[in-house]
Structure 1
Amino acid sequence: MLKHDYKVRTGNNQYEGFLVDLIKEVANMLNFQYDIYLVHDGKFGSKKADGNWNGMIGELISGNATLALGLLSITSQREEAVDFTKPFMIRYITVLMKVTKSTTSYFEFLNPLHPFVWFCTIGALLFVIIVLYVLERIGNINRTDYPSISFKECFWFVFGSLLHGSTDASPSTLSGRILTASWWFFALILILSYTANLTAFLSVKTINTPIKTVTDLASQTRIKYGTVKSSGTSGFLKNTDIEHFAKMWAQMSEIEPSSMVDTSEVGFKKVKEGNYAFIWDTTVNKYKTIEDCDLMEIGPPFDPQGLGISVPTGATYTEEFSMAILKLNDTGRISEMERKWWVHRNCPDYSNPSTDKTSGLQIENVAGVFFILVGGVAIAAVLCLGDYIAKRILKSVKKEKVHAISPEGDDI
């Protein structure tokens, strides 16, 4: 990789990364000097239609380079053109995607019930109020000891029962009490169901990714996916006989050719934009997820390939390089360099779709209930003020009428 301040640096000091450290260790062991440069076309190396090679393999064949460092997987086709050292690492292929963000709402407490259920509940509330009022009026027509409750009292009694509240008025007829008992049972089941779902919605955050495994890509078309053209990954997908991988290759290369990218950097940019999955080497994908917690890696890993340093065919120093790599591996130096560049990821683990992450409630989750409380306080205050003003006006009018009548009862 280029260092963040590479413009003020020169030569090999412009670059950093695992392979930069690796070649530095090998150079110290074998006592040689080297210069790093980037291949002009940005390719790893694939055979063109005319039989020539592009990318880093082409640079080796043409004699411009004596070593090629990169994600060069050791394949049979490349072995025909150049030589490789012993593998310094085994790489796999995984999928890189953007983490699906969970949305929050101020009125998230309404989510436990479907909007249609809320509509039916309001309808049931109004229906029971009307029926209870009618039953009480009919049942108490000829009774003076139990006067029927008013429509307003019916409303507050039914509404209060739904919220486990209480009122002074209550049904006095047998039919009204039977209706009330059925309404209480309805309210009990509804409140228990709502409470159970509300706990799940507000207290438990479930990581729900649209793609849980690599094979899920083949069975959907909403999320686009692709890889780098003329790369080892594209070669595997193109030549494999595994059904779902072959289906994915047909989707990428024929149905959605725009999903294929020229360089890995373009692929990572498309992932950041969203609705795109990038099929690439797990060594890079894992590093990207460490750098950015908005990205996640999806497995299981497939197509294991050895990564080696590529050299021109017949190079006399191939065996020396291989022995140096084996010694670095035996002494644990390669493992140390891996830990340096692939540190522990301090992000939520989105790779396990069955894991629930419990989190504390934030204000954006429950702000709606505060809005309702403030709204109730405001409405109550306005009604109270209006009632006070109305009573003051009515009292003032009555007082004026009293002063306007003489003690003898004659108008003044």
Structure 2
Amino acid sequence: MDIWYGYTAFLLVSVFYTSATEGLTDYRVTTILHPPLVMSQGDGNSRKFVGLLPDLLDKIGPMMNATFSLNHVQDNRYGTLDNTGNWTGMIGELVNKQSDIAAAALTVTVERANAVHFSQPFLDSGLSIVMKKPTADGISWKRWKGLLSFLKPFKTGVWIAVICSYAIVSLLYGIILQFDPMEEDGTDSIKKNITRGFPVMFYRFCFQGSFSPSTCTSRSAKMLTCFWCIFVILIFASYITSLAVVFRSGDDELLETPIHSFEDLPLQSEVEYGVPYNSMTYRYFTLKAKDKTDEAIGKQLKKSKDQMPKNVAEGVKRVRDSEGDYVFITEELYARTESGKPPCDLVLVHHSKHRGSYSFACGLESKACHDLDVALVSLKENGILEELIGKWYKSQCDTDFDDDYIKYVTSFEDKKFQAGLFFRTDGISIDKIGSLFILLSLGIVVSIGLLIFDIFFEKRFEVSI
């Protein structure tokens, strides 16, 4: 009797299993390790794939009435055309019908789209700059620069122009005292007259006696002093307004770095940068750049291609080992994963223009991508796909400094915008206040004209008398 019950139970289980699996399609899926999309656990026969994509396929399976057998791509490549015109990597396995679906961080290109079908994207991504978290000791985060914040309202060129203007006006003032016949306070020594001009103009610059009557009797000297005072007042107005913007930026200015965006990379030489050599990122910047900024980055990458990291892990390690003088460009999702791991010493700057997406790929004769599209739409509408992404891209750090830094960068740009294009926290350039120097130049020309007129007119007047 016990044997009869055993046979009966075995028969029922067999019938149930057969019914449950009847009609299921088993798809051969080729993939590649790419944390956190696909990761490996165990070795040999006990090897198991975990990550966002295995979880996603587990959700899709019942919806497609299918099962998925994941296998790692043999040549460890995503898929490109080789010199013989044959596809390598996962794309090659699909073309050669060794696999039915490719599940990985595959980007859609024209060449790939001609060889295989792609599903709709399951994940959006882009490029990011991986950089060392700002510290007080980093070479790129010099806190002592805060002590020189009073110089920030003007760029270096403006400060040089102001100093040169002061020297020219002081020198001209001394010349006027020496040669203008209408000047009564001048001495016979041109050296003393010129020496006197420098403190007089400096006092005016410091608003000492700027509004008191001038003691000089020369019309040319009075005209020069008048234009100099107007110039000084306007310069101080520009300086104070810009200084207020600098102070309003607060402590963020202490985290100063030459890198706030991709546009800053080719405009500076303090920080080196790299990408994985011969990667899709390298080919984008060197061959398919979409704007002048990315083209400039590509030219620099070509010059230093021998120093490029061999892979993403090596590039991130170089950033961590640096003192802030090296940054690494890689795909955004991998960058987020690394920045969210202890010791939590990395921050990111995302590319605002170059965006991409990852999709499943299928053979040209397969209908799997159509079924995957239907399943992905359903998972997106139900919020399940978003939950899976949040699960695998969750930061392990106490503070998501990546988001904090992006807010800092946005705030940095907003403050400059709110202050207007004229006043910027990175200093007023000479092209913004060049009109003030033109005004002073006009005053110098008028003063010289009056000096020449007085010299010749007064001499003629004295002779006639």
TM-score in same-fold range (> 0.5): yes
Give ranges in structure 2 of 5+ residues lacking alignment: 1-34, 149-246, 413-465
> Relative to 1, partners in 2 of residues 1:109 and 1:341: Cα closer, same or farther, differing over 3 Å?
closer
1:129 maps to which residue? none
1:290 maps to which residue? 340
Deviation of the 1:99 alpha carbon: 1.8
Aligned residues of 1:26 and 1:321 also touching (Cα < 8 A):
yes
Deviation of the 1:259 alpha carbon: 4.2
Cα distance in structure 1, aligned partners of 2:385 and 2:313: 26
3-state SS of 1:52 partner:
coil
Supply the AA of the counterpart residue of 1:54.
T
| The one of 279, 296, 305 aligned to 1:247 | 296
1:32 maps to which residue? 66
Supply the AA of the counterpart residue of 1:279.
I
1:270 maps to which residue? 318
3-state SS of 1:36 partner:
strand
> Relative to 1, partners in 2 of residues 1:302 and 1:25: Cα closer, same or farther, differing over 3 Å?
same
Cα distance in structure 1, aligned partners of 2:74 and 2:361: 17
3-state SS of 1:303 partner:
strand
User: Superposition pairs for residues 146-225 of structure 1, below 5 Å?
Assistant: 206-225=254-273
Supply the AA of the counterpart residue of 2:353.
F
Identity %: 22
Cα distance in structure 1, aligned partners of 2:143 and 2:326: 32
Deviation of the 1:248 alpha carbon: 0.8
> Relative to 1, partners in 2 of residues 1:250 and 1:335: Cα closer, same or farther, differing over 3 Å?
same
User: Superposition pairs for residues 85-104 of structure 1, below 5 Å?
Assistant: 85-103=119-137
3-state SS of 1:25 partner:
helix
Structure 1 residue ranges (4+ consecutive) displaced by more than 6 angstroms after TM superposition? 2-5, 108-114
Give the superposed CA RMSD. Answer: 3.3
Cα distance in structure 2, aligned partners of 1:222 and 1:259: 17
Deviation of the 1:85 alpha carbon: 0.8
Is residue 326 from structure 1 mapped to residue 351 from structure 2 by the alignment?
Answer: no
Supply the AA of the counterpart residue of 2:267.
S
> Relative to 1, partners in 2 of residues 1:110 and 1:48: Cα closer, same or farther, differing over 3 Å?
closer
User: Superposition pairs for residues 13-412 of structure 1, below 5 Å?
Assistant: 13=48, 15-103=49-137, 206-237=254-285, 238-253=287-302, 255-274=303-322, 275-292=325-342, 293-343=344-394, 346-348=399-401, 349-351=404-406, 352-353=408-409
Aligned residues of 1:94 and 1:302 also touching (Cα < 8 A):
no
Aligned residues of 2:126 and 2:350 also touching (Cα < 8 A):
no
- 1:50-101 C-alpha deviation (Å, 9 max, x unpaired): 3222222223223332221221111212111211111112222221122233
Deviation of the 1:111 alpha carbon: 9.6
Cα distance in structure 2, aligned partners of 1:28 and 1:233: 36
Cα distance in structure 2, aligned partners of 1:337 and 1:314: 30
Aligned residues of 1:42 and 1:263 also touching (Cα < 8 A):
no
Aligned residues of 1:282 and 1:301 also touching (Cα < 8 A):
no
Aligned residues of 1:46 and 1:230 also touching (Cα < 8 A):
no
Cα distance in structure 2, aligned partners of 1:354 and 1:326: 32
Cα distance in structure 2, aligned partners of 1:41 and 1:294: 33
Give ranges in structure 1 of 5+ residues lacking alignment: 115-199, 357-412
Aligned residues of 2:95 and 2:363 also touching (Cα < 8 A):
yes
Deviation of the 1:251 alpha carbon: 1.2
Aligned residues of 1:11 and 1:36 also touching (Cα < 8 A):
no
Larger Rg: 1
Aligned residues of 2:41 and 2:50 also touching (Cα < 8 A):
no
Aligned residues of 1:12 and 1:36 also touching (Cα < 8 A):
no
Deviation of the 1:16 alpha carbon: 2.2
> Relative to 1, partners in 2 of residues 1:294 and 1:109: Cα closer, same or farther, differing over 3 Å?
closer
Supply the AA of the counterpart residue of 2:93.
E
Aligned residues of 1:270 and 1:276 also touching (Cα < 8 A):
yes
Deviation of the 1:312 alpha carbon: 1.8
Deviation of the 1:109 alpha carbon: 12
| The one of 30, 42, 45 aligned to 1:7 | 42
Cα distance in structure 1, aligned partners of 2:400 and 2:331: 20
Supply the AA of the counterpart residue of 2:318.
K
Tell me the TM-score normalized by structure 1: 0.56
3-state SS of 1:97 partner:
strand
- 1:105-129 C-alpha deviation (Å, 9 max, x unpaired): xxx9999879xxxxxxxxxxxxxxx
Tell me the TM-score normalized by structure 2: 0.50
Aligned residues of 1:224 and 1:259 also touching (Cα < 8 A):
no
> Relative to 1, partners in 2 of residues 1:332 and 1:242: Cα closer, same or farther, differing over 3 Å?
same
Cα distance in structure 2, aligned partners of 1:21 and 1:257: 37
Aligned residues of 2:143 and 2:255 also touching (Cα < 8 A):
no
Deviation of the 1:319 alpha carbon: 0.8
Aligned residues of 2:136 and 2:143 also touching (Cα < 8 A):
no
Cα distance in structure 1, aligned partners of 2:104 and 2:143: 52
Cα distance in structure 1, aligned partners of 2:88 and 2:271: 31
Deviation of the 1:276 alpha carbon: 3.0
Cα distance in structure 2, aligned partners of 1:354 and 1:88: 27
3-state SS of 1:326 partner:
helix
Cα distance in structure 2, aligned partners of 1:56 and 1:332: 29
Supply the AA of the counterpart residue of 1:290.
G
3-state SS of 2:101 partner:
coil
